[in-house]
Amino acid sequence: MRKTEPGAAPKPPQAETAEARPRKNRSSAALPAVKSPADKPVAAERHFKGLALGAGIAVGPAYLIEDQTPVLDHRPIPADAVEPELARLDGAVTKSRRQLGKLRAQLAMLPAEGQAELEPLIDAYLQMIGPSRLLRGARRRIEGLVAAETAVLEETEALAAAVMAVQDRDRAGLKRRADEIREIGRRLIRNLTETPFQSFAKLAQGTVLVMDNLRPADAALLSPARLAGVVTEEGGTDGHTAVMLRALGIPAVLGAHGVTSVIRSGDLLVLDGGAGTVTLHPSAATMASARRASATFARERQKLAQLQRLPAETTDGQCVELMANLEVPLELPLIAQAGVDGIGLFRSEFMFMNRPHLPDEHEQTEVYRAAVEAMGGDPVTIRVLDWGGEKEIEALQAAGIAEVSGLNPALGLRGIRMLLRHPDLLETQLAAIMRAAHFGPVRVLLPMVTTIDEVRATREIYQKVARRLRRRGEKLPERLPPIGIMIETPAAALSADALALEADFFAIGTNDLTMYAMAADRADADVAKLYDPLHPGLLRLVQFTVEASLRLRKPVSVCGEMAANPKLTPLLLGLGLRCLSMNASAVPRVKQVVRGVAIDDCARLARRVMEQAEPAAIRAIVEDFAGKPV
């Protein structure tokens, strides 16, 4: 029997079943017909609502997979069973490592975005079954006289709970990390109990998979050519599984509560990944509208794909630079294909995570160099480490650097503040960036700057590092890369004119700027309504920054999430911005908007917006301009 563990390679594509995949004939005639009353009594339609992943329409019979995770009791063992249990754990670790190694080798078959999502995840899994805290803890528990599965389960739950207890504004990130720990625990337990891995072998062509929870590693093994769509009870829109399904172009609705208790294998479903809806027993009218929607979706995808090579130019001939944000290097192929003008934000944090030691100058140089070379002459803006004292980063702790900073980490030793406290760390990173600049255009970006002194102090270190590298005979460009700053605190925004005297360019980080301007943590549901980038307070900070930079002739961009929202593009252009940096997948839609507007209209829109006192009024004007809700 084929299992979903590594080694079970998806079969080669056979026929198209879903509407989300490009380059194939997606005529609506391919959708299965509703069974006539003569075949079967027609059951009443039922509707389920879940999270929209935005990947097309699927129609097909359901295939329900029940959760097979073994239920475990706390199992004590006698003292003489400790050695055999430790050996069982070692065996399960070896087996899990082999499975993950195979899965990693298969990644090359996935689209770039899927590879980018899964490779760091598998590396994190592999690290957790290396000399990790998880395994040390599990061994200690076995020595405390419990069976290996009990030890793994209890240790993973304890670690996941510890992660969730961390005071971090990124709750979704913490939840993902806790899920990763539980996932590796589940893999070990399956191997310990010899429970078979989820099997998709019986999936018939064109079926819609229905299950409680699809794990990212399993999602990677789904064949888009066999599968019409996926519906799950659990899962979020920004989880690894969601990214994988989007990358594979499989229509999906996650978090649709109640589906597994009502839907049975063989039931006909219509799934709308864009609306986040699932219809069980669709009527003839629902089927007809699914056909129309899938045809429209296919046309839109085709149009967006054609945009890639066209310039981001407004109808009145103004060029807009569209750049990409990079979080992990595996995004590079996707970015290189996205038709962008460079990397506007290279978040370097990934290099410091999930590892016991800090990356040295050589290792960092190679990572930056790869990005510079992949961009073929377009600039790469490398942001030096933006780490807050609250986050657990083993390598920083091992180097005695990570400190718990004060009561409120968001207001503590973050970004450039932490780097200036630990200049060795900054010097190493600056040296690597300068060396990478030998291979193509690079810019240095400083996070969380609030004072001119911070920029001056960094420049002094920068010059010192350059002298040292030149003495060492390293090849550096004659003109060192420019140094820019993130504008992500109200203080920085309101002193942008002064900061422009020291900084070579600005990147407005609207994610943090909104949080600090509104004094509202973006991960706190109680104040979620306040965290609103359309508040006049935030927009005035953006406007002040842009005006100062234009006056002082310093380039300025927006690299927060606002830049990725096509409905906000006209407003940002109207405020004077001509450079936006976003995740690569957002580029086509933003480009489409840029190519459809005139700067004069955008400027008029911005003027009207800036006269408003309330976010609701601003939202209404922006929506009216976009023709859609923001």
Q: For ligand PEP, what does the binding mask look like between residues 305 and 344, x meaning CB under 6 A?
A: ----------------------------------------
Taking the least distance from each CB to ligand PEP, the nearer of 185 and 560 is 560
Query: In whole angstroms, how far apart are CA 496 and each of 230, 248, 332, 559, 577?
Result: 48, 43, 32, 16, 15
Distant-in-sequence, close-in-space partners of 329: CB < 8 Å, separation ≥ 6? 350, 367, 370, 371
SS3 labels along 32-95: CCCCCCCCCCCCCCEEEECEECCCCEEEEEEEEECCCCCCCCCCECCHHHHHHHHHHHHHHHHH
Pairing relation of β-strands 268-272 and 277-280? antiparallel
Interface region with Mg ion, contact rule CB under 5 A, candidates 238-246, 399-407, 420-428, 482-490: 482-490
> Site for ligand PEP (CB under 6 A): which residue of 481, 484, 509, 576?
509
Taking the least distance from each CB to ligand PEP, the nearer of 58 and 492 is 492
> Site for Mg ion (CB under 5 A): which residue of 85, 113, 361, 512?
512
Task: Give residues 377-396 in contact with ligand PEP (rule: CB under 6 A).
Answer: 386
Conformational region of residue 507, where left means phi above 0, alpha means psi within -120 to 50, and beta covers everything else: beta
Selecting among 257, 281, 438, 559, the annotated active-site residue is: 559
Task: Give residues 477-506 in contact with ligand PEP (rule: CB under 6 A).
Answer: 488
CA proximity to 49, closest of 281, 286, 315, 231: 231
CB 361 within 8 A of CB 465: no
Selecting among 240, 535, 579, 602, the annotated active-site residue is: 240
Taking the least distance from each CB to ligand PEP, the nearer of 187 and 347 is 347
Q: Provide the token pair at 552.
A: 């002082």
Q: Give the three-class secondary structure for 136.
A: helix
Query: Half-sphere exposure (CA, 13 Å, Cβ side) for 136?
Result: 5
Q: How many residues bind to ligand PEP according to rule CB under 6 A?
A: 10
> Site for ligand PEP (CB under 6 A): which residue of 216, 224, 536, 560?
560
Residue 85 interacting entry, from ligand PEP, Mg ion, none, C-beta within 5 to 8 Å by type: none
Question: Is 171 a binder of ligand PEP (CB under 6 A)?
Answer: no
What is the separation of C-alpha 23 from the centre of its chain, rounded to a whole number of angstroms? 26
Alpha carbon distance 21, 301 (integer Å): 9
* Least CB distance to Mg ion at residue 325 (A): 11
Catalytic, 240? Answer yes
CA proximity to 255, closest of 51, 60, 411: 51
> Site for ligand PEP (CB under 6 A): which residue of 19, 117, 168, 512?
512
Pairing relation of β-strands 227-232 and 252-254? parallel
In one letter, which amino acid is 567? K
* Least CB distance to ligand PEP at residue 462 (A): 21
Taking the least distance from each CB to ligand PEP, the nearer of 206 and 509 is 509
Catalytic, 559? Answer yes
Question: Is 511 a binder of ligand PEP (CB under 6 A)?
Answer: yes
Supply φ then ψ for residue 531, to 5 degrees: -75, 85
Taking the least distance from each CB to ligand PEP, the nearer of 211 and 559 is 559
Question: Is 521 a binder of Mg ion (CB under 5 A)?
Answer: no
* Least CB distance to ligand PEP at residue 563 (A): 9
> Site for Mg ion (CB under 5 A): which residue of 249, 484, 509, 533?
509
> Where along the sequence are the contacts to Mg ion (CB under 5 A)?
488, 509, 512
> Where along the sequence are the contacts to ligand PEP (CB under 6 A)?
345, 347, 386, 488, 509-512, 559-560
Provide the annotated active-site residues.
240, 559
